[in-house]
Amino acid sequence: MLRIKNLHKAFDDFKAVDGAHLSVDKGQLVAVIGPNGAGKTTLFNLICGQLQPDKGQILLADEDIGKLPPHVICRKGIARSFQIANIFPRLSVFRNVQVSVLSQQKLSNKLFHPAAQLAVDETNHILDSVGLLDKKRDLAGSLSHGDKRILEIAIAMGNEPELLILDEPTAGMSPEETTTTMALIQRLAADQGLTILFCEHDMEVVFGVAQSIMVMQQGKTIVQDDPLTVRQNIEVQQAYLGDE
């Protein structure tokens, strides 16, 4: 589904992504790991069009999407969450997701429909699938940190993505919230056939759920392989796992 070849991105003289390679197959749950500043978020920003690469290819199916703007990439079926939750805090949980469903369905131009009546079933369905249905009338800003992050996943689901990209989905969560969220992510992949690419610092989480792990250090891909092979990789142990 997604192939990244020899990707580079510099900010002035600083090479944030400096030879990244990644392969994501349809239906796979793929993790990107690496120390702080390794270039994970920059890589995700490049895939989603928030940044444009200096060099290299980002192939979605066989099309190079490297120079396309975010809204076009979104229409091609890639949706994401951000490292810091990105929600409308003064709207209800329901409205946050409904807005996303409506924009996907391009219904925002149906001016004579009161928006409240549109996409109700789809929105409820998404809220149900992430376990937020009973909180749909709550203000998004009043949710717990964990539920805000899950709401963000629900908003991304409103885009009906084929590839969901999650930047540290469990950052700042309690151990219980982390377990619930990772179970949710696994369920979305299994039940809805979603392809999911995520980055994460919690190694227990990563090695517990990922089917393939890509390791980055200083902007470079050291290796991408199945969890067992990655764990046994000497370079990875020295570069990253060793200092835990």
The nearest distance, CB 166 to Mg ion, in angstroms, is 11
Query: Which amino acid is present at 65?
Result: I
The nearest distance, CB 41 to Mg ion, in angstroms, is 3
The answer to whether the CB of 2 falls within 8 A of the CB of 58 is yes
CA angle 171, 2, 131 (to 5 degrees): 40
| Cβ distance to ligand ATP smaller for residue 14 or 208 | 14
For residue 36, the partner it binds in Mg ion, ligand ATP, none, with Cβ less than 5 to 8 A by kind, is ligand ATP
Name the residues that contact ligand ATP, by CB under 6 A. Answer: 11, 14, 16, 34, 36-42, 83
Give first-to-last CA distance, the chain, whole Å: 33
Number of residues lying near Mg ion (CB under 5 A): 2
| Cβ distance to Mg ion smaller for residue 20 or 99 | 20
Instruction: Find the binding residues for Mg ion in span 41-70 (CB under 5 A).
Output: 41
The nearest distance, CB 209 to ligand ATP, in angstroms, is 18
Bridge partners of 4? 22, 58
Question: What is the DSSP secondary-structure string of 131-180?
Answer: T-GGGTTSBGGGS-HHHHHHHHHHHHHTT--SEEEEESTTTT--HHHHHH
The nearest distance, CB 190 to ligand ATP, in angstroms, is 27
| Cβ distance to ligand ATP smaller for residue 11 or 67 | 11
